[in-house]
Amino acid sequence: MADFFLLAVLTLDATLRVSTPLIFCAMAGIFSERSGIIDISLEGKMLMSAFVAAAIAAVTGSPWLALAGAVAAACAMALLHGFACITHKGNQVVSGVAINILASGLTAVLGNAWFQRGGQTPTLDASSRFMPITLPMADTLGQIPIIGTIYKHAISGHNGFVYLGFAVVPLTWWILFRTRFGLRLRAVGENPQAVDTAGLSVTALRYRAVLMCGVLTGLAGAYISIAQNAVFVRDMTAGQGYIALAAMIFGKWRPFHALGACLMFGLLDAVAIRLQGVHLPGIGEVPVQFIQALPYILTVVLLAGFIGKAVAPKAIGTPYVKER
């Protein structure tokens, strides 16, 4: 029983770690899509910033510079997306796909040219990374049964990014639903004509939303390469951007619902690793591939309206043209 409890706590611990980039990206997606800009390119922005973070950390040894570089890189990609979708009214999905493919190619080419390791960066040492933080009295309180175990293993000992990720969710909610900027941002995603008529700039609002998306995906990328791992490897985001997209839709474009979806997908991931080769009573061996595919399957089922209806912001995907 005690073993099972510890296993559950450790699974929870793993869940929080793998959910963190999903949470950042899902919040990033919410900002962008609530303003009416589809963002397929979460994956590409995260990959690019992960690469830039690892490259800067490897060269300068400073994790803070690396973090700044990662955020700048993701913002640059976000501005490119904005330039295509807002300024030139291009197809948002096409632009997003282009950014994902560009990031996948560019990180591999630059990585190989700069470090000559087949697209990898050198492995980073502890001083050039963000390391886990042990919360106060984790060892002392860890002696207490149950609550102490949870505190020591699941709550303490995470990377600063993990705590930041959980702070970003209420912050996103507050910005979107309790500030004037948030009200306008949501309005521009529902009815840009009305916002324009009110004398506000649709363009400026959408650019700001896209930039917020850039900052958050930059944090996600930096977490992956210089906090969760100590190296950049080719295509290391491995579809997490798409999972975050799925989580965002699953959360129906709402921060706390999306957080729930991220945690659920993170739990699936953590469980998938533990279930490898395990025979479950009555079910038999569950293929790991099935659990890995579950987030995608669930999203399709949700989108089909079988478990509630996911309604996207009304003006999503349509460029705003004045005087129509």
Partner 1 sequence: MSDQTRTLPRWIDIGLIPLINVAMALVVSGVIILAIGENPIDAVVIMLHGALGYEEGVGYTLYYATNFIFTGLAVAMAFHAGLFNIGGEGQAYIGGLGVGLAMLGLDHVLPMGLLIPIAILMAAAGGALWALIPAYLQAYRGSHVVITTIMFNFIASALMVYLMVHVLIEPGQQSPESREFAANAQLPFIYQVLGWFGIPMAKSPANLSLVWALICCVGVWFYIWRTKWGYELRAVGFNERAAIYGGVRPARVIILTMCLSGALAGFVGLNEIMGVQHKLLLDFTAGYGFTGIAVSLMGRNHPLGIILASLLFGVLYQGGADLAFDVPNITREMVVAIQGLIILFSGALAYMSTPWITRLYFRLHDGATPSDPPKPAHEEA
User: Which residues are at the interface with partner 1 (CB under 8 A)?
Assistant: 38, 40, 80, 83-85, 88-95, 97-106, 108-110, 112-114, 116, 118-119, 234, 239, 242, 245-246, 249, 287, 289-290, 292-293, 296-297, 299-300, 303-305, 312
Q: What is the Cα–Cα distance from 212 to 224, expressed in whole angstroms?
A: 19
Task: For residue 76, count CB atoms less than 10 angstroms from its CB and return exposed for 0-12, middle for 13-18, buried for 19 or more.
Answer: middle
- Least Å distance between CB 272 and partner 1? 11
Beta carbon nearer to partner 1, 42 or 195: 42
Under a CB-based contact definition with an 8 Å cutoff, are residues 41 and 100 in contact? yes
Under a CB-based contact definition with an 8 Å cutoff, are residues 122 and 224 in contact? no
- Least Å distance between CB 116 and partner 1? 8
Beta carbon nearer to partner 1, 3 or 323: 323
Beta carbon nearer to partner 1, 95 or 228: 95
Beta carbon nearer to partner 1, 114 or 166: 114
Task: For residue 175, count CB atoms less than 10 angstroms from its CB and return exposed for 0-12, middle for 13-18, buried for 19 or more.
Answer: middle
Q: Following DSSP, what letter does each residue of 169-196 receive, concatenated?
A: HHHHHHHHHHSHHHHHHHHHHH-HHHHH
- Least Å distance between CB 125 and partner 1? 26
- Least Å distance between CB 97 and partner 1? 6
Beta carbon nearer to partner 1, 181 or 296: 296
User: Which residue carries 């700039």 as its tokens?
Assistant: 201
Q: Where are the beta strands (DSSP E) in 206-269?
A: none
- Least Å distance between CB 279 and partner 1? 14
- The token duo for 23 is 């949470």
Beta carbon nearer to partner 1, 57 or 302: 302
Q: 252: how many CB neighbours lie within 10 A of its CB?
A: 15
**61 CB-near residues (< 8 Å, 6+ apart):** 127, 128
Under a CB-based contact definition with an 8 Å cutoff, are residues 67 and 53 in contact? yes
- Least Å distance between CB 88 and partner 1? 5
Q: How many helices (H) and strands (E) does the chain have?
A: 13, 4
- Least Å distance between CB 1 and partner 1? 33
- Least Å distance between CB 13 and partner 1? 25
Beta carbon nearer to partner 1, 205 or 245: 245
Beta carbon nearer to partner 1, 63 or 119: 119
User: Is the backbone of residue 235 left (phi > 0), alpha (psi -120 to 50) or beta?
Assistant: left
**195 CB-near residues (< 8 Å, 6+ apart):** 184, 187, 188, 202, 205
Beta carbon nearer to partner 1, 62 or 112: 112
Q: Which long-range contacts (C-beta less than 8 Å, at least 24 apart) are formed by 195-199?
A: 196/320, 196/322
- The dihedral through the CA atoms of 115, 119, 121, 122 has a sign that is negative
